[in-house]
Structure 1
């Protein structure tokens, strides 16, 4: 009874382990996904919200300026292929903050603006802000570019203005003036005054020119964003819904004008190698696709690397789906035309040193050396959680110079894309956060191991019970044989010993003597049957059968 109760209990436990393991195997990933969604989704009281609103990471904003070492007026008699020297980095520490945050519970979105403050870090910079830099005269080039579609008389007025203000195709300014401080320019004042008089319509919101002018502490430069919080549908986490209150931009043809992809900080969990990583950039007024390139390991954490390739900056030359970004021009692949969202200035964005661009752009400039490790734009991400581990954002600002037949300063100018500067924002999350991600990413695997242990233990218990039953059955058979031997007066020990020896010896036509049994009669070939026989045990451990 004791064995029976124990076997029943072990059987129940084994079946319970197998059942529990099977149920957990079916629902484990759904449970994990649900818990992960609660941790990642953006909410007023979630941990991720404060990290997003006021990032604790140290952000470096490195700027490299191109110094024009052989400046000329780009005329037929004076032209010389520009030779550029890269100066920098000029390192700025960036403090980013989300402002004007507003929750929209009806559609699970959040609206906000970005405010960034920059501090120059001289001890970590190669250059100084007082460095003199010779570069392309972007204001003069923009004036000629803006007037290219005006009438002849208006173009000549612009040409006279350039001559009157003694403009050249290049300027010499301090690094601080070219960046955040800006510098005053008579052409800007003249354009604003003429616009007020109604001579032409221009929308120039600046009183100075500088590539980063008014960027410091500005809430308006990047625009107004509305993104999904992931509440109710974690696959929508971080996706841009509107930019400047619209789901589309006015700067490109459809579907390239769509506001799509991440706002830049949040990505949905479950990223794949096949699907590109897309984000929307307000300063480019467009989205950018990054493509999977490799799988890497950072501090023991497996990550996917998504990089901007030649496809990312194509304009339809090689990949037709990007033709809507440049519908009215035919340029080699490698530059993004953002002039429409830069107040008409002929500004084109590429990767540093025209990395991943058509060789066409390098033939007009000396001093550029594209290098993947230095100039690639990439994001490394833990794919299961969708959390970026390292970001290296690298872009170059170029000014397109074109010949203008009715404007003397650019009458004989070649068509070229003149690099002004490039910048880099590179950041990696702290090792403590990587450790947390490692645990989160390995949780599903650990869960399945535990499930496997439960199921295995269940099967072990069932096998153990079966073995116990087989053993008990064998024991009962042995006891039965002992009882038969005792009935015939044979000691148990001798009976067991002789039975074993008998079982190990074959019968040979009834003539073979079995073990220590001494039969006086020849054994019959038929089954042994000895009725009325008496067994006699002697001291030589033999048994004599007497009739």
Structure 2
């Protein structure tokens, strides 16, 4: 059975796993929840932001693997492409909905000026530009514009001065990743060992990252999150690399479960995934200098120096000081946890909810009119949920595979147990027969014993 599973999970042109990986038999949806700032004028005067969650705005997600090339029996190169299509029937609201939202290009420009990264722009020049362009810190845009992109004059200005980092005059929350070939992977096929299937060799030509302060943090481990090795157990640690997090992360066992008749192991992001190194030493290297606090990951180095942060939705598992810096959040493990349901024998995810939140640090600057009175705050802008569910036919097939594996495991044990039972029963019968007490013997047995005694069969004198 091990050999059979190996044949079916390795990535080769004629394997079932290759077709599964190439065209996942699953429904994939991405839900966006955006945070509207309901008191923008008060925030400009130093008040705490009050947030209202909008959505979900749901998109059907199509996965493609382009530019496929088997480099050898052990490695395959590919370009993953994800394209979103709006699904109004699964959304609460329409793409045309308007929302008051943080002007991220403006906030990013101001933060870069304050930190000295835009040393060619001083505060007086920045004030002049922002006033000339009638720039506001909070803007009203449609959901469609925010997610798919809109023209922004500050982006146009940035692309002029920073062409290597900013290209074009369009800003979108998808960061140019919708339907584009913005990344590439080389991964292991698992031809040599099923436990190596899907493991990343390189990402965008890199075998190590350069975003973090030590080698451990810069490691690229595990899979790309779309395929996993088989033979999971409750002590397994499932490594994956996430371009959204700019790092490798690990999932750990949460509970046994059953999804649509298939027994699963549920794995999730551990509560200390974004904890400070004093709490989780494995996060040493993810803080450049002083950490902002537990529960958030500073990804600024990954995004050109802009103060972006990743967290769990509604600051789940974050420090109280971070949660309390804004109003309107209600963290709930049941609806905000990052969790995947695995069929443990094959390692195939039956379903799951990949949930992460994007936040921006809103800084104060005494010499820039737009932010001179605000209170610095880590402001959530959106959280998303990638929802994956295998089709019923595939679930049934996986359930049968798991059943046969369990059967193959159980039969030898059952045969050994049955053999032991038969031996014990036979021994018991024999012992009972030969050690039967005299008082329970039958009349016939008593006559046989008397006849034997009478014939001196038990006499010791004949043997003298």
Instruction: Report TM bin, short chain.
Output: 0.7 to 0.9
Residues 1:503 and 1:285: Cα distance change in structure 2 (over 3 Å): same
Contact 1:317–1:332 (Cα < 8 Å) also in 2: no
Contact 2:159–2:167 (Cα < 8 Å) also in 1: no
Residues 1:216 and 1:261: Cα distance change in structure 2 (over 3 Å): same
Residues 1:156 and 1:367: Cα distance change in structure 2 (over 3 Å): same
Query: Which is higher, the Rg of structure 1 or of structure 2?
Result: 1
Partner of 1:483: none
1:139 lines up with 2:99 in the alignment: no
Contact 1:73–1:169 (Cα < 8 Å) also in 2: no
Partner of 1:126: 92
Aligned equivalent of 1:375, options 336, 343, 352: 336
Alignment of 1:3-152 (within 5 A): 32-72=1-41, 74-75=43-44, 78-105=45-72, 108-150=74-116, 151=119
Aligned equivalent of 2:135, options 134, 143, 167: 167
Unpaired segments of 5 or more residues in structure 2? 428-442
| Partners of 2:136 and 2:444 in 1: CA distance | 119
Contact 2:27–2:389 (Cα < 8 Å) also in 1: no
Contact 2:27–2:390 (Cα < 8 Å) also in 1: no
Contact 2:43–2:49 (Cα < 8 Å) also in 1: no
| Partners of 1:125 and 1:464 in 2: CA distance | 66
**Cα offset, 1:456, TM superposition:** 7.5
RMSD after superposition: 3.2
Number of equivalenced pairs: 445
Contact 1:315–1:336 (Cα < 8 Å) also in 2: no
**Cα offset, 1:438, TM superposition:** 2.4
Structure 2 residue matching 1:144: 3-state secondary structure = helix
Residues 1:169 and 1:35: Cα distance change in structure 2 (over 3 Å): same
* Alignment TM-score, normalising by the size of structure 2: 0.87
**Cα offset, 1:334, TM superposition:** 0.9
Partner of 1:298: 259
**Cα offset, 1:191, TM superposition:** 2.4
Unpaired segments of 5 or more residues in structure 1? 1-31, 197-201, 467-497, 515-522, 530-547
Partner of 1:219: 181
Q: Per-residue displacement from partner, 1:194-217 (whole Å, max 9, x unpaired)? A: 447xxxxx6202421110253322
Residues 1:501 and 1:42: Cα distance change in structure 2 (over 3 Å): closer
**Cα offset, 1:464, TM superposition:** 12
| Partners of 2:373 and 2:266 in 1: CA distance | 45
| Partners of 1:331 and 1:464 in 2: CA distance | 69
Aligned equivalent of 1:246, options 201, 206, 226: 206
Contact 1:290–1:312 (Cα < 8 Å) also in 2: no
Residues 1:206 and 1:335: Cα distance change in structure 2 (over 3 Å): farther
Aligned equivalent of 1:158, options 106, 110, 126: 126
Aligned equivalent of 1:411, options 372, 379, 385: 372
